[in-house]
Amino acid sequence: MRAVIAPDPGGPDALVVADVPDPQPGPGEVVIDLTATAVNRADTLQRQGFYPPPPGASDILGLECSGVVSAVGDGVDAWSVGDEVCALLAGGGYAEKVLVPAGQVMPVPDGVDLVTAGALPEVACTVWSNVFMIAGLREDETLLVHGGAGGIGTFAIQLAHALGARVITTAGSEEKLEVCRSLGADVAINYKEQDFVEEVKAATDGRGADVILDNMGAKYLSRNVDALATEGRLVVIGMQGGTKGELDLGVLMRKRAAVVSTTLRARPAEEKAAICASVVEHVWPVVADGAVRTLVHTTLPLEEAREGHRIMEASDHIGKIVLTAR
C-alpha cells in the first residue's frame, strides 16, 4: 500500500509517499481501507522529529481516519467487513490501509459523510476527554478556548455552546473571530490586540473562566492561571508557546484551582477505548442533530500531505485540513 512517512526530520518536503507492506490484523484489531484522514499539529511535530510515535505505534503519520472495514482480527465482534467507520489512532492514518485496536473504532455519526468523518475523531476525543471528562465543564460555567479557529477550537466552541456553557475564545484575526462567534462563542478576543486576561475578567464580572482549554503551554501559563475563576480548571493540551513556564502556586492555591496537562496519543488503549465509547454516547448525538459540525478548510489528496502541512504551519486555515485516499 501507499503511505506517507517522514524518514528524515525536516520541513513539509520531508514527507514522502512510500510503498509499505499492508497491515494484517492481530487479535482485537481491525483494518480500515482509508477514505480520509486529517492533518493535526502533532503530525507537523512528528515530521520535524519532535514527537515520535509511542512504543508499538506505526511510524506512518496520522492520528485519525475514516473508511470501510476490510479485515478484522480474532475476537472482534463489534465490527464486520464492509462497515463504514471512523477511528482514533496512535499513528498510521496517512495510508491506504489503517490498523487500529477495535475499541478505537467508532460508527460514523448520522448525517456526516464518510470523508468529513475522517476529521472528527481527534477533535471529538480531545475536546470531550479534556473539557468534559477531566475538567468537568458544566452548563452553568464559562469555558475559555484558546485558538478558537483551529480544528480543536472550532469543535470545542460548538460542543460547549451546544451543551449549554458560556464560551469565550481567542483568535488572531477579525475573520477568525467572526467565525468563532458564528459557531457560538459569546465573546471573541483578538489575542494580538487585546489582553485576554482583562477581557475574560470583564466578560465574567471579574470571576474568570471556570475551565480553560489551552494550546499555548508555557507562554500562557501564568496569564491562564490569572484568568481562572475560583475552583477553575486549566487544561493544557498544546505547547505551541513552549514547555517550561513559571507557575505561581500562591495564586493557584488561593483560587483552589487545578492545572492538568494531557496527551491523548500516549494514553493506554483501554483509556482511549473508554474515551471513544463516551464520545459515541455523548458527542455523536450532538453531531447527528447538527449542533456541532466539522469545519473543513480544505480537502487534498493524501499524496499532497506536504501542502496540508504547509497550510497548517502558516496558520491561515479555519477548522480542519482533510486528506483523502484515491
Ligand X SMILES: NC(=O)c1ccc[n+]([C@@H]2O[C@H](COP(=O)([O-])OP(=O)(O)OC[C@H]3O[C@@H](n4cnc5c(N)ncnc54)[C@H](OP(=O)(O)O)[C@@H]3O)[C@@H](O)[C@H]2O)c1
Nearer to ligand X among residue 72 and residue 120 (C-beta): 120
One-letter amino acid for residue 312 of the chain: M
C-beta of residue 11 within 8 angstroms of C-beta of residue 77: no
DSSP 8-state code for residue 12: G
Residue 19 β-bridge partners: 2
d(CA 238, CA 258): 17
**Which is nearest to 43 in space by CA: 159, 122, 146?**
122
Nearer to ligand X among residue 13 and residue 174 (C-beta): 174
Nearer to ligand X among residue 76 and residue 180 (C-beta): 180
Nearer to ligand X among residue 70 and residue 262 (C-beta): 262
The single residue among 172, 218, 286, 311 that binds ligand X, judged by CB under 6 A, is 172
The single residue among 30, 34, 36, 42 that binds ligand X, judged by CB under 6 A, is 42
d(CA 46, CA 90): 12
**Which is nearest to 173 in space by CA: 184, 181, 183, 162?**
181
Nearer to ligand X among residue 53 and residue 150 (C-beta): 150
One-letter amino acid for residue 206 of the chain: G
Interface with ligand X includes 323 (CB under 6 A)? no
Task: Using CB under 6 A, count the residues that bind ligand X.
Answer: 27
d(CA 271, CA 130): 13
Interface with ligand X includes 216 (CB under 6 A)? yes
Nearer to ligand X among residue 70 and residue 315 (C-beta): 315
The single residue among 40, 142, 204, 299 that binds ligand X, judged by CB under 6 A, is 40
Interface with ligand X includes 176 (CB under 6 A)? yes
d(CA 201, CA 53): 39
Interface with ligand X includes 170 (CB under 6 A)? yes
Interface with ligand X includes 152 (CB under 6 A)? yes
Residue numbers of the site for ligand X (CB under 6 A)? 40-42, 122, 126, 146-147, 149-153, 170-172, 176, 191, 215-216, 237-238, 240, 262-264, 312, 315
